[in-house]
Structure 1
Amino acid sequence: MKVLMIIPAYNEAMNLENVVEDINSNFKEADILFVNDCSKDNTLEVIKKIKNVEYVDLPINLGYSYAVQTGLKYAVEYGYDYLIQFDGDGQHLASEAKKMYEYALDKDIGVVIGSRFLKETSYSHSFFRKVGTGLFQKIIKMLTGKKISDPTSGLQVIKRDVFLPLSKMYGYPEFPDANLLIQLIYQGVTIDEIPVEMKNREFGESMHGGIIKPIKYMIKMFYYIIIVFATNLYGKANKK
């Protein structure tokens, strides 16, 4: 089995060497792909100095979701069986990703989510993120009947038959979180969670930092969820 760690990187120069050291120590069988999203700092220079990693250098800033989809396309092109979405900010742990990967292999799961909330951990969640997570938990349960404790987790293991169509998806969602999970559930993809430990960011700024960004995120997410739900209803109506 070939497995690829996809690591989107935007202004993460201070974190990347530690991220790679962690992966090399705790998940040696995984290949590493950095997607440099036109960083303004010296992220690219740091990546070029790291041995035994591949990278894609985007010419313009496409944002997190399209950086992820770039990684999906790479995984398809080079014949990977599984990929792992892994953040470049040092919050995700390679040992936890390996545990998720082994679980996905053993249970033959399409998507395995690393959950911060299935058990009590030391991870600190901001107030707005807590509110958003709680709301999206309820919405997913209401629309699909499935309980997902951590719908905003960026740590995911994805099987090839799931990421192949996602790599070709036109209009890949700006925030591939609860909305994408709902869509995958409607499509019959098997999704499971296992509890993981995560660290808090040590250097740099989160893409959901402050007050305005989380509010914009929640507004856009509600819009995307409505679109996914309406599309699913329309599809069911056309099948009758």
Structure 2
Amino acid sequence: MKLIIQIPCYNEAETLEIALNDLPKHIDGIDEIEYLIINDGSHDNTVEVAKKWGVNYVVNFKNNKGLARGFMAGLDAALRNGADIIVNTDADNQYVGADIEKIVRPILDGEAGMVIGERPIDQTEHFSPLKKKLQHLGSWVVRKASVTDVPDAPSGFRAYSRHTAMRLNVINDYTYTLETIVQAGRRKMAVKSVPIRTNPELRPSRLFHSMFGYVKKSMLTISRALMQYKPLYCFTWIAAVFGIIGGAALIRFLVFYFQGTGYGHVQSLVIGCMMLTIAILAFFIGLLGDTIAANRRLLEEIQFELRKMDYGLSDEEKKKDEDKSYIEGDA
């Protein structure tokens, strides 16, 4: 059983060695632990620090591609190098390295394919009261969108089984944290959260420059992911809102019309017809989106099979395939 711990890096020379020194060297149930960094276009000596420390793999981007692209590149490299479990952590040593054992344990025990570390948000001193409230609100929205019970959706401290990692696809360029939860929940993947600890802040977050920008990008990411995986559900709600408004406007016009004063309320008729037209268009867009989503699911299954051929199967998956062949042969 091989574990690869990946760390996305962008100008992290000052903190990377601290984070690397905190990582575990042995975990019960894991035969081999390797380390990988994703150099996302750093301008400092991040790569030199990593190589001097002794990381096993370095994924290099010449220009900054963003957290989501870096995350997927790290998964690709880890899978190609035989990882059975992949852990993603931060280069600023936000998370306690010893807690990696906590987040890989549910995978080792066969309880989950994705495990998310739940930070003690209310007890984190460098989080402002506003940030704490927004973190809770954002996690609540993600839980509703993904139909999961993840209490800390923005947490980047995560573990993935090989099988789950091969099924992930991140479309947006902002962050992988929210989209992957919505994706996993809508695909009925086994997702679990475990409480973890955090270290004191070494540097400010680079993911967002303002609270408003963070909220805006997060909501756009959640909305986009939900529309991708549940388009008919989303657009039916949009159609319902416009339909109710349009129906109310038409009823208002008809009431005045039968009272003999409809000529003075033509605007209600115009607004009602316009709102109902938008509602019908939204519903048909939802139907079209649902058809596209069904095709995407087929393409994702094809991609998964291609990834299995490209990356190879884990020992557990090979055993399952052997058992399946044996049963089919007997039949």
- Alignment of 1:7 with 2:7, yes or no, is yes
CA distance in 2 between counterparts of 1:217 and 1:135 reads 13
**Secondary structure at the residue paired with 1:6?**
strand
Moved more, 45-54 or 95-104: 45-54
Return 5+ residue gaps in structure 1 as ranges: none
Higher relative contact order (CA closer than 8 Å, sequence separation 6+) = 1
> Does residue 64 of the first structure (1) align with residue 67 of the second (2)?
yes
Partner of 2:108: 105
Q: How many residues align?
A: 233
What corresponds to 1:150 in structure 2? 152
What does residue 137 of structure 1 align with?
139
The corresponding residue for 1:96 is 99
Cα displacement string for residues 57-82 of structure 1 (whole angstroms, at most 9, x for unaligned residues): 21111111111111011012112111
Distance in 1 of aligned mates of 2:54 and 2:177: 32
Give how far 1:128 is off: 4.3
8 Å contact kept, 2:146–2:186: yes
Note if contact 1:15-1:89 (Cα within 8 Å) is conserved in structure 2: yes
The residue correspondences of 1:218-237 to structure 2 (distance < 5 A) are 218-234=215-231, 237=290
Find the counterpart in structure 2 of residue 18 from structure 1.
18
**SS of equivalent to 2:230:** helix
Letter in 2 for 1:13: A
Conserved in 1, the CA contact under 8 Å of 2:103 and 2:159?
Answer: yes
CA shift for structure 1 position 54: 2.0
Which structure is higher in helix share? 2
The 3-state SS of whatever aligns with 2:109 is helix
Structure 2 matches for 1:1-240, cutoff 5 A? 1-24=1-24, 29-117=32-120, 121-122=123-124, 124-166=126-168, 169=169, 171-202=171-202, 204-208=203-207, 210=209, 212=210, 214-234=211-231, 237-238=290-291
Gaps of 5+ in 2: 234-289, 295-331
User: What secondary structure does 1:74 align onto?
Assistant: helix
Is this contact kept in 2: 1:117–1:150, CA < 8 A? Answer: no
Q: In structure 2, do the counterparts of structure 1 residues 39 and 127 end up closer, same or farther at CA, with 3 Å as the change threshold?
A: farther
TM-score by length of 2: 0.64
Kindly state the Cα deviation for residue 170 of structure 1 after the two structures are TM-superposed: 6.4
Once the 2 structures are TM-superposed, how far is the Cα of residue 89 of structure 1 from its aligned partner?
0.5
Q: Give the alignment's TM-score, normalised by structure 1.
A: 0.86
Change (3 A) 1:16 1:69: same
Q: Which has the larger radius of gyration?
A: 2
Question: How many angstroms apart in 2 are the aligned matches of 1:208 and 1:127?
Answer: 19
1-side partners of 2:174 and 2:40: how far apart?
A: 14
After superposition, the Cα gap between the structure-2 partners of 1:93 and 1:137, relative to the gap in structure 1 and judged at 3 Å, is same
Q: Aligned pair in 2 of structure 1 residues 193, 18: CA closer, same or farther (>3 Å)?
A: same
State how far apart, in whole Å, the 2-side matches of 1:122 and 1:225 are.
25
CA contact (8 A) 1:112 1:192 kept: yes
Matched AA of 1:150: D
Q: Give the match's secondary structure for 2:138.
A: helix
Q: Is the 8 A contact 1:137 1:147 kept in 2?
A: no
Instruction: Please give the alpha-carbon distance, in whole angstroms, between the structure 2 residues aligned to 1:209 and 1:140.
Output: 19
Paired AA for residue 187 in structure 2: Q
User: Following superposition, which runs of at least 4 residues in structure 1 exceed 6 angstroms of deviation?
Assistant: none
SS for the counterpart of 2:171 is coil
Sequence identity of aligned pairs in percent?
24
Give 1:103 deviation, angstroms. 2.5
**Cα distance per residue 1:68-127 (max 9 Å; x no partner):** 111011012112111000111111222101121123211431111110149x75554234
Question: SS of 1:154's equivalent?
Answer: coil
Query: Deviation of residue 152 (structure 1)?
Result: 0.6
TM-aligned CA distance change 1:52 to 1:222, over 3 Å: closer
